[in-house]
Structure 1
């Protein structure tokens, strides 16, 4: 039996920052982590090729915030190992490379005439208000703001590939919070009148740990343990003992944890299921195919978005563009993100078959690097993206309502709150959960669940 004031489920950055805050507030804290190491979605993997070491993150993480308190915390945790990096992104579409954000000269140079003409006609319809904003789905949101031409060529194939469902079945929320420009009117105003305001979801400068994003949770875990906290890795929650309105204990295979308060960052669908309610919420998974390259540079870009539906990856990342320490001197690497669902053909595909497909896709994209591949590695994450389908809001609300009946349970984190949010927002939910337990009466469970639920994301309003 392990007893403490608070039990935290999940040793990702949200759970760790909550634990640190609670320990500083005088509470005793145990953290339960399912995996063999801390970090959750913010881990980094290391692979060796002969005497060389390559590092890869679980996705495209970067640290951007407008929260001075949070920035000071991360700077303290990482010290001189917190770098300032510059983002450079492009869209790969039908063997053309388009700048991101949109650039008039690049569009005129690269886009075929029929695409430009179609976008121009769509813009006229929007300017003349023949087309009005429609927020029923992702498809209607994009078509009513960007027109059918750009939807059919850019948004629809990429979105279908990323989420695994038709855009007509996807909530408009994802578009409203993630699409950089408001509509085609905004695009053309920005291009024609050289609007200098930053694109609203696009911050070129960001903070990044020297040795990969996994360095942040590792350092946080060290601080947590220095403060007296305990982390139990390889410890999966099997059940809860609970009555009508309180959780009495957290049960794992080898141990029982008792605490007055519980913070969970466990995926919301799994948490609600273990407490007696099937939410219907789903996550989209990712496999990462990582290639160690015997070449100094793959490209000048941090991200390359692959919009063509018939090609397997959705994004190509070159880790050394974030930090030169992610690959050996004079060598590079790339990581290809491949969306899937746990248990499907792509999830179960062996590495060699996956590599064969990706090599062919890279050639299709005019990257003939087969003789430069020193080695390849594969890893995956089950809960990469919250699947924001048309029904997700109602399903999420019902799950939250069910969990809110447990007075001593607080939910936090990206997966825990089932939110497609930035890293700083996820960390803020952990801080809020800790402050609530420490007696901050202004913080409620609903405020944590819906923290930064504004339509306009905050990436460019940053002090980082």
Structure 2
């Protein structure tokens, strides 16, 4: 790492980039933030839609602020103030015309699941192998712990739809980071309504700004500018000047910006490819189809997981469940999360055709699509999820090794470290990256692996 820089170029005005910018500015370091979009927030932004009945707000996905970091919580509370609400989350799983509680509950399973599934799960419980489970890929990770019946019903189709690949080609890391129960025997033990072993589940309570998740980052951007930093929008990074072990300038929006140091949240493979290397790492995209509804409430669920493979979406969300200010009084809205990749049929589908598909999904779920106002629009995220295929670890390590040659470059954030992480972890990475520049200490390895434990706050247990 070079000596403490006087000026840092921050690439990306999302959670990690803005958090880093604030930390650097408070340490007296000049900061310029380059952002390719026309506003801040990245994947955590909020879109405003002016409909016939008033203003609707839609996030880029299902965001909520949860953290165990008191310092980070204090920052967000100070920035958002009284506009930071405390909300309650309720989720369900919709599968084959049945609705399951999420997390799973014994009574609900016995009442809801078909007899064939229960019999299959019991048989699998008796047949599960002893010893070390098979972690060759996602499919073997699940079947060696939960059995074939649960895998076929709840995991196989949904996972293939979400990622666009066969689950046997998906790394077991995805399961290890998202499902914390050890095996079906553990599930059975936890589901029994006896004893004092109360499983820790996902966080039901969370903080959320009254006008959408993006408000956090709008306030952060204002703080960056108040501290003397500069944010340049519509400035997509399209090149670097570099030699040996240093990046000397960043090219963006037709201009060149000299660099003492570069703190980047741009995707790991993009940075490799733009600095003379090659990386096959890829991402899974999401299309969000947003539509107002002439009804007071869609349901009492924040979101519904849509496990049927023939339904194009993986989740149905109702923004109003997070904040009543996300839709006009007496109205609500729906957002369908549709996993697809740029240039694919679902990505390119005309909005009018997609509206017909969306109405079909609502009807299948028992929601009267006649409540739709006929207004709709799509938003997109090209790099929503890092695609963790079997063997991705080697490609990720190679990418990190390539970028580590530049002593004045630090990567952080979800795309920047190729990690499926939540907002608070991205923000912590931004703070860590800024601290590394301030202290002149090489913290790259620590940042890349920050919060890499096998359990995630939101999904501590599925039982």
TM-score category by the smaller chain? over 0.9
Which residue pairs with 1:138 in the alignment?
138
**Separation in 2 of the partners of 1:394 and 1:66?**
31
Q: In the aligned structure 2, how far is the partner of 1:140 from the partner of 1:352?
A: 40
> Is the 1:22–1:438 Cα contact (8 Å) retained in structure 2?
yes
After superposition, what is the alpha-carbon deviation per residue over 1:186-240, rounded to whole angstroms, capped at 9, x for unaligned? 2211211456666556111111111101101100000000000000000011110
Any unmatched runs of 5+ in structure 2?
A: none
The more displaced of 195-204 and 224-233 is 195-204
Q: 2:318 matched to which residue of 1?
A: 318
Kept in 2: contact 1:314–1:338 (CA 8 A): yes
Shift of 1:380: 0.8
Contact 1:295–1:332 (8 Å) recurs in 2: yes
Aligned length: 456
| CA shift in 2, pair 1:61/1:241, >3 Å | same
1: CA distance between counterparts of 2:299 and 2:198? Answer: 24
1:290 equivalent to 2:285? Answer no
Per the alignment, residue 452 of structure 2 pairs with 453
Helix, strand or coil: the match of 1:84? strand
Contact in 2 for aligned 1:178/1:201 (Cα 8 Å): no
| RMSD (Å) for aligned C-alpha atoms | 1.6
What displacement does 1:366 show? 2.0
Partner of 2:35: 33
Change (3 A) 1:130 1:181: closer
- 1:125 alignment counterpart: 127
Q: 194-203 vs 242-251, which deviates more?
A: 194-203
Shift of 1:438: 0.3
Aligned to 1:15: 17
Structure 1: stretches of 5+ with no match in the other structure: none
Q: CA deviation at 1:11?
A: 0.4
Q: Give CA deviations for 1:160-209 in whole Å, capped at 9, x if unaligned.
A: 00000010000111111112533212221121145666655611111111
Instruction: Tell me what 2:155 maps to.
Output: 155
Supply the distance in 2 between the matched residues of 1:252 and 1:302 (Cα, whole angstroms): 39
**Given that residues 5 and 260 in structure 1 are in contact (C-alpha distance below 8 angstroms), is that contact kept between their aligned partners in structure 2?**
yes
Structure 1: how far apart are the matches of 2:119 and 2:400? Answer: 47
TM-score (norm 1): 0.95
Conserved? CA contact 2:39–2:233, under 8 Å: yes
1: distance between equivalents of 2:30 and 2:312? 47
Q: Secondary structure at the match of 2:254?
A: coil
SS at match of 1:36: coil
Quote the Cα distance in structure 1 between the aligned partners of 2:106 and 2:332: 31
- SS of equivalent to 1:452: coil
How far the C-alpha of 1:89 sits from its partner, in A, is: 0.5
Separation in 1 of the partners of 2:329 and 2:67?
31
Question: Where does structure 1 differ by over 3 angstroms across 4 or more consecutive aligned residues?
Answer: 129-132, 193-201, 371-374, 458-461
After superposition, the Cα gap between the structure-2 partners of 1:460 and 1:306, relative to the gap in structure 1 and judged at 3 Å, is closer
